[in-house]
Chains A and B, each alone.
Chain A
């Protein structure tokens, strides 16, 4: 099989697996949430989510009908033979839309017309980065509209410091309420600039829920936000309860002296993420981190 064919096959498997299988750490967190909640109402919501995840896997169906805006984070090893990858991604997304199937989610903002195949201007969304090594790593995150709509960028005064960061994260999750399908996962990007803070926030969602930021101070901030957010009491699907968030992950970059950008990326309970790693000969491995 040619390396392009292998690449297409690997990417298709990545999209398929990610769309139907919930990562194991998310499942574990949902089960723990079910144990923690006390009210029948909150429990009933979590029970339905767990049943849905089980059913989707068993019957090879998308976990959620909102199969998301197809978004790829691509890390190209400096010694990996590069070609124009966009046509390959487009072809894979067309096939996945037809065969899995996925819901067509690419709409022209001016005409309102749906392209019908999840391919459109700049869609799938692809972020590229050149990294050391000779592998190609493709991270896929099909994120739904409900949780995209409650994501926020704040450009706060640097004078407010980390206290200001905490405040806007709390406000974002409070204002999101039931809308992004809680219990949610919160990705926070601190610093960078007005564009990069959001990229960092989204990338933070690739981190496993049982992993904290390697920097101890930041890990502590994640934990502090985690318990503060859960004390809001919004609960599963906003019916009230102890578990509003399943996790908080922070990534950061240096900032401009005048700016303190804070990106808050809210992710629904159906936090789908997958990674494919390709070797130079096209052989690949799919990981569900």
Chain B
């Protein structure tokens, strides 16, 4: 298990060298996107229109921050990850169409995402869920926001981060999937417990 410091835009070879269990500290630009933003990104791209920000090589972050305008500036008060599983229905197409190299979240993702990561050279990494005050230590600045009409948690917040981590690689570009492995083992265990109770 290795430790890496990566910067955005992340080159494909950097994304491809990571393996499940590696730890990443990420610097540069990350963009928050949850359910509603994923849906809109795909709607915009499928209509042949342009996104307000070019996501190629960047990292998207499954996160709905606590954010408030203080004077003229947006200030962040909390920003841990949200459950990634909800975005499974969008993520493969999202990776293919935007060219992102990293997805950051928590709770794990499924086979379709893992397959897309293998095909297009991207990785999924987790930050400890709920560790909201800790996560924002890495945020240098809230650069801008798009689609605020979706509401604060669902808008696309563009964050400048420095050494955001430790991010645990949970799906790599070989398609290896940490949470799936743990779940398979738990499933065997469940079946044996159910025989005993």
Which A residues have a C-beta under 8 Å from some C-beta of B? 41, 44-45, 48-49, 51-52, 55-56, 59, 61-67, 98, 100-105, 107, 112-114, 116, 144-146, 149, 163, 166-167, 170-171, 174, 177-181, 228, 231-240, 268-270
Query: Does B46 belong to the interface (CB within 8 Å)?
Result: no
A residues near B108, Cβ cutoff 8 Å:
177-179, 238
Contact A231 B130 (CB under 8 A): no
Chain B residue with the shortest CB-CB distance to A182 = B129
With A55-B134, A64-B130, A65-B80 given, name 6 new contacts (CB 8 A): A64-B78, A65-B66, A65-B132, A114-B152, A177-B182, A234-B183
Q: Which among A107, A179, A231 has the highest number of chain B CB atoms within 10 Å?
A: A179
Contact A101 B77 (CB under 8 A): yes
A residues near B131, Cβ cutoff 8 Å:
48-49, 51-52, 64
Task: Tell me the complex Cα distance, A269–B132, Å.
Answer: 13
Find B153's partner among A114, A166, A180, A236 (CB 8 Å cutoff): A114
Knowing A233-B189, A239-B178, say if A66 contacts B64 (CB, 8 Å).
yes
Contact A56 B133 (CB under 8 A): yes
Find B132's partner among A45, A62, A112, A145 (CB 8 Å cutoff): A62
What are 18 A-B interface contacts by the 8 Å CB criterion?
A: A44-B168, A48-B131, A48-B134, A51-B131, A52-B80, A61-B77, A61-B136, A65-B65, A65-B135, A98-B68, A101-B66, A145-B82, A146-B83, A177-B107, A231-B189, A232-B193, A233-B186, A237-B128
Interface residue count for B (Cβ, 8 Å)? 51
Contact A65 B151 (CB under 8 A): no
Which B residues have a C-beta under 8 Å from some C-beta of A? 21, 36, 63-66, 68, 77-80, 82-83, 85-86, 106-108, 126-137, 150-154, 166, 168, 170, 178-179, 181-183, 185-187, 189-190, 193-194, 197
Find B185's partner among A52, A67, A240 (CB 8 Å cutoff): A240
A residues near B178, Cβ cutoff 8 Å:
239
Q: Per DSSP, are chain A's interface residues mostly helix, strand or loop, or mixed?
A: loop
6 residue pairs, one from A and one from B, having the closest CB atoms: A114-B151, A65-B78, A181-B129, A52-B131, A48-B128, A65-B132
Contact B132 A178 (CB under 8 A): no
Contact A59 B197 (CB under 8 A): no
Task: Tell me the complex Cα distance, A185–B13, Å.
Answer: 41
Contact B153 A104 (CB under 8 A): yes
Contact B78 A41 (CB under 8 A): no
Knowing A66-B64, A167-B197, A179-B107, say if A52 contacts B186 (CB, 8 Å).
no
Task: Tell me the complex Cα distance, A102–B126, Å.
Answer: 23
Task: Tell me the complex Cα distance, A144–B107, Å.
Answer: 14
A residues near B107, Cβ cutoff 8 Å:
146, 177-179, 181, 237-238
B residues near A228, Cβ cutoff 8 Å:
193, 197
Shortest CB distance B156–A (Å): 14
Contact B185 A59 (CB under 8 A): no
Shortest CB distance A180–B (Å): 8
Find B64's partner among A55, A65, A232 (CB 8 Å cutoff): A65
Shortest CB distance A92–B (Å): 18
Task: Tell me the complex Cα distance, A129–B66, Å.
Answer: 33
Task: Tell me the complex Cα distance, A105–B65, Å.
Answer: 11
B residues near A104, Cβ cutoff 8 Å:
151-153
Chain B residue with the shortest CB-CB distance to A167 = B194
A residues near B187, Cβ cutoff 8 Å:
174
Chain A residue with the shortest CB-CB distance to B129 = A181
B residues near A63, Cβ cutoff 8 Å:
130, 132-133
Knowing A103-B65, A104-B151, A170-B190, say if A65 contacts B79 (CB, 8 Å).
yes
Task: Tell me the complex Cα distance, A52–B166, Å.
Answer: 13
Find A49's partner among B66, B128, B150 (CB 8 Å cutoff): B128
Task: Tell me the complex Cα distance, A236–B179, Å.
Answer: 11
Contact B85 A179 (CB under 8 A): yes
Task: Tell me the complex Cα distance, A102–B166, Å.
Answer: 25
